Structure 1
Amino acid sequence: MGIYFYWGEDSFALSQAVKRLKQKTLDPMWESFNFDKFSSDQSDAIAQALNQAMTPPFGAGNRLVWLSETTLAQRCPEDVLTELDRTLIALPETTTLLLTSSTKPDGRLKSTKLLQKYATLEEFALIPPWKTELISKQVQRVAQELDLKLTQGAIDYITEAVGNDTRQLYSELEKLKMFAGESKKPLNESAIAPLITASTQSSLQLLTAIRQGKTAEALELVSDLLRQNEPALRIVSTLVGQFRLRLWIKLMLESGERDDREIAKAAELNNPKQLYYLKQELFSTSLTQLQSALPLLLNLEFSLKRGHDETIALQTKTIELCQIFRSR
């Protein structure tokens, strides 16, 4: 049936692709006999998976062998490479071999080159939070996939509310699909606003408080977000995207650019109508302040990924950010 290598940080989108592959490959009545998943933490996982891939399926349908979080494209001993080469060449037509990893394949390795020769490689990358145009296209794509009709205003609202969280996007759109029922009329922003869990909106309120230098209000919003179990890295991701957007606009304005279409294009602003309000907002914000904010946020992201206490890290950097914007 084929060989597939899925990789990338968007674990939900990747899992959806795996689900589709299972539906395409397996007969539901025989799935328990013909589906095998091997994790990288299992001893001899690669050898077991390759051996199982050569086994004919039982009953109807085909066999699917899934080697999860494999390190084959990062490091591969010579004996394993030999076995991989032997298996990929002779893989039965009744078997689908799937390999997945969150890490980008190392193109220098012989094992990666072997996979590139025989397998279909597909990346599942998270869209950067500041690329709102791409996020908007993803919203439209998933809505079409679910046969859900939305107005442009509703798409813009979901883009801001959900951000690049693919899992939440599917969850919210499936909820809206149930709400719409059999209606063929597109849902507008006012109809969906009460139904959307707009965690990103709270992060945008935090952005406003920081930009206005309101330390107490900003710290309270940080506490509220953490009480709602909002992941700290997602909060930071939203702030980075929004500050980056504002920095681009400010840079264009400072350089003398007056064409709103050019500014919106450079800043990757999904809704050019927002530019008017952002320009008004940035009138009282200096370029130096925006340039000082981003390194602090990137340092905060690094600290969180190193396992530092989320509450302390967020509170400390929030105070520092507010101090930057208080000194106008």
Structure 2
Amino acid sequence: MMIDIWKNIERKQFSPIYLLYGMESFLINETKQKLLKNMLTEEELDFNFASYDLEEVPIEVAIEDAETLPFMGEKRLIFLHNPFFLTSEKSKSKVEHDISKLEAYLQEPVPYSTIVFVAPYEKLDERKKITKLLKRSAEVFEAKKLSEQEIKTWIRHRAGANQVEINDDAMEMLLTLSGTNLMMLASEIDKLSLYSEDVIDKHTVEILASKSLEQNIFSLVDKVINRNMEEALRIYYDLLKQNEEPIKILSILAGQFRLLYQTNELMRRGYGQQQIANFLKIHPFRIKLAAGQAKMFSEEELNKIMMWLADADYQMKTSALTKSMIIEMLLFKIHGS
């Protein structure tokens, strides 16, 4: 749905009304940028673009603007932010909106203007007449967290916009190294595209992709449980060289093993990966990776590791040993388990 809307915008097939709602702000901003880029030239922006905050401006003012003929161009583009009247939330805004004016406009929008409702809310109040009418009248885009398959589709689209392709192995490696944050992924894809002639491959990703601290810890854990202690220590020492605090490293390390423990326990109870992701409120791709790592441990081993992590935390606060040495000793313990 998201890609279909973007493709239509890129083909300059515009809807008179869009409703963008949800908590994934990157996708909403990406859609807004595509509309700006494809609908108006730089010269037209000054005359035919407007943006209103509906917590400060009545809807009828924006509608009057939409009904004004374009100047030195063929289209007007109007962003309407924070349409709180579409939700059941109580707003602090003292602005009163003439919703009947909006209802009349939605039933007969002018052909030369595009209105974009930008609603950064998880849910809209489907019981309200105006919400129902808007959803019937508009091109609706729900900006929610993407599934693994949707992220991969989005990655291919982003790479294609940079005139390159990305193969499956490279995509898996990119997600493993950089995570599922769309803003970080966009930055990485744009960077990788510069260094790839036609196709982004796995080798290019391994060399150039940036890793978040969390992803470095994931790699560190992966090396430890696969008995590659030399590579695990290299990652750990690199983190110390980057001035990462040992106590922060320990905290994320504990979080990773807690995820393995929870994933292992829920799989034992018969939960599927999507169910685990929903229950823990974690992206399904992270659960997929955690499930792979969790299989390397028995329940007893994970219990033991959780105790070691708690003990390492206590030692950091009380022991005369250096904090970096405490983590190093912990890694060897896990390696030997």
Shorter-chain TM-score category?
A: 0.5 to 0.7
Match in the other structure for 2:168 = 152
| Paired residues of 1:161 and 1:196 also in contact (CA < 8 A) | yes
- Residues 1:63 and 2:76 are matched in the alignment: yes
Residue 72 of structure 1 aligns to a residue whose secondary structure is: helix
Using the size of structure 2 for normalisation, the TM-score is 0.63
Matched, 1:31 2:49: no
Question: Which amino acid in 2 is paired with 1:18?
Answer: K
Q: C-alpha distance in 1, partners of 2:274/2:118?
A: 35
Q: 1:139 aligns with which of 137, 146, 155?
A: 155
Deviation readout 1:74-125 (Å, 9 max, x if unpaired): 2699962212112223421001111101102211112201202211211111
Which structure 2 residues correspond to residues 7-86 of structure 1 after superposition, within 5 A? 7-41=21-55, 43-74=56-87, 80-86=98-104
Name the SS for the 1:126 alignment partner.
coil
Q: Which residue of the partner structure matches residue 214 of structure 1?
A: none
Alpha-carbon distance in structure 2 between the residues aligned to 1:240 and 1:87: 51
* 1:96 alignment partner in structure 2: 114
- Residue pair 1:126, 1:164 contacting (<8 A) in 2 also: no
Residue 142 of structure 2 aligns to which amino acid in structure 1?
E
- Classify the secondary structure of the residue corresponding to 2:86: coil
User: Larger Cα Rg: Structure 1 or Structure 2?
Assistant: 2
CA distance in 1 between counterparts of 2:108 and 2:256 reads 47
* Cα distance, 1:176 vs structure 2: 0.7
The amino acid of 1:96's aligned partner reads T
The structure 2 residue matched to 1:178, chosen from 184, 194, 199, is: 194
Secondary structure (helix, strand or coil) at the match of 1:175 reads helix
Give unpaired runs (5+ residues) of structure 1.
Answer: 212-216, 294-321
Q: Which amino acid aligns with 2:177?
A: A
Question: What is the 5 A alignment of 1:248-263?
Answer: 248-252=263-267, 254=268
Per-residue deviation at 1:246? 5.7
Answer whether contact 1:139 1:158 (CA < 8 A) is retained: no
Q: Offset at 1:143?
A: 2.6
Deviation of residue 160 (structure 1)? 1.9
User: Once the two structures are aligned, what percentage of the paired residues are identical?
Assistant: 19
Aligned to 2:18: 4
Preserved CA contact (<8 Å) 1:88 1:118: yes
**For the residues of structure 1 that align with 2:155 and 2:254, how far apart are their CA atoms?**
20
Paired position in structure 2 for 1:313:
none
Question: Cα deviation per residue 1:163-208 (whole Å; 9 max; x = unaligned)?
Answer: 221111111101111111xx23x33333222322210413536878
CA RMSD of aligned residues (A): 4.5
Q: What CA distance in whole angstroms lies between the structure 1 residues aligned with 2:298 and 2:40?
A: 55
> Is the 8 Å Cα contact of residues 23 and 120 (structure 2) preserved in structure 1?
yes
Q: Note if contact 2:66-2:115 (Cα within 8 Å) is conserved in structure 1.
A: yes
SS in 1 for 2:135: helix
Distance (Å, rounded) in 2 between the aligned partners of 1:9 and 1:33: 30
In structure 1, what is the Cα distance between the partners aligned to 2:98 and 2:245? 45
Counterpart-to-counterpart distance in 2, 1:240 and 1:95: 50
2:103 match: secondary structure: helix
Contact 1:250–1:287 (CA<8 Å) still a contact in 2?
Answer: no
Taking a change above 3 Å as real, the CA distance of residues 140 and 196 of structure 1, as seen in their structure-2 partners, is same
Tell whether 2:216 aligns with 1:202.
yes
Change (3 A) 1:46 1:133: same
Distance (Å, rounded) in 2 between the aligned partners of 1:288 and 1:40 = 55
Q: Secondary structure at the match of 2:65?
A: helix
Give, as a single letter, the amino acid of the residue that structure 2 aligns with 1:57. P
**What does residue 190 of structure 1 align with?**
203
- SS of 1:194's partner is helix
Q: Which residue of 2 aligns with 1:113?
A: 132
Q: CA deviation at 1:5?
A: 0.6
In 1, the alpha carbon distance for the partners of 2:22 and 2:286 equals 25
Size of the alignment, in residue pairs?
268
Q: Offset at 1:263? A: 7.4
Q: Secondary structure at the match of 2:77?
A: strand
- The Cα shift of 1:139 comes to 2.8
